[in-house]
Amino acid sequence: MLYPVELRAQNQRLTRFYLAKSGYDVKELYTSVPLNAMQAYLAISAILLFAVAARSGEPDRNPLDEQVLRSYMAGEYDLIGRKADSTLTYTGQVTFRDEGGVLRVTRTVEGATDKCVARFGTVAGSDRIPVLRMHFHFNGKDCDATYRWQSDPDNYPRFTGYLYFSGIRAPGLEALFPIHE
């Protein structure tokens, strides 16, 4: 165990002495750091801490660039899903088109095609996690879906989401994977 004994500046160097006890022996150890290097380190650390603290307290001022996102997301996707309140799965295709500043969606699942519009939003209160929301008909019912997206290893968007129907206990699940041509 080390015990600090003395702290002093000597010849522009910050010197700290320690006493180490091992049995009955008492040893003197020291570390030495140039004083101006220590001052620079402390100044840089203070600036970084201030920047992080200032940034963490303010809401996100950069709203989603929806035009860029619509362009990025446009394309065709394979759909894999699980029905709400069930373990039954299904497959299909989804197409996103950027038309006139609107992200138009065409869903084809089990031979049935439905069209809707996707809207950008956020969830999780002050965390403002970006999501894509849709309202469409699925299996003859009104459905609301919320998708989160991320980039896959090839920098294509990939979506995962929940499907909500009125009167269900467990939401449906969907994943959308880009079709590479």
List, for residues 78-116, the tens digit of each pLDDT value.
Answer: 999 999 999 999 999 999 999 999 999 999 998 999 999
Is the predicted pLDDT of residue 134 greater than 80, yes or no? yes
* Segment among 53-67, 104-118, 136-150 with least mean pLDDT: 53-67
Q: How confident is the model at residue 7 (pLDDT cuts 50, 70, 90)?
A: very low
Mean pLDDT on 123-145: 89
Domains plus CATH for the chain? 2-56 (no CATH), 66-178 (2.40.128.120)
Of 123, 115, 85, 121, the C-alpha closest to 97 is 115
Which position has the higher pLDDT, 83 or 62? 83
User: Which contiguous run of DSSP H or E holds residue 29?
Assistant: strand 25-34
Output DSSP code: residue 124.
Answer: S
Is the predicted pLDDT of residue 22 greater than 60, yes or no? no
> Looking at residue 63, what is its pLDDT?
60
Q: 117 near 103, Cβ under 8 Å? A: yes
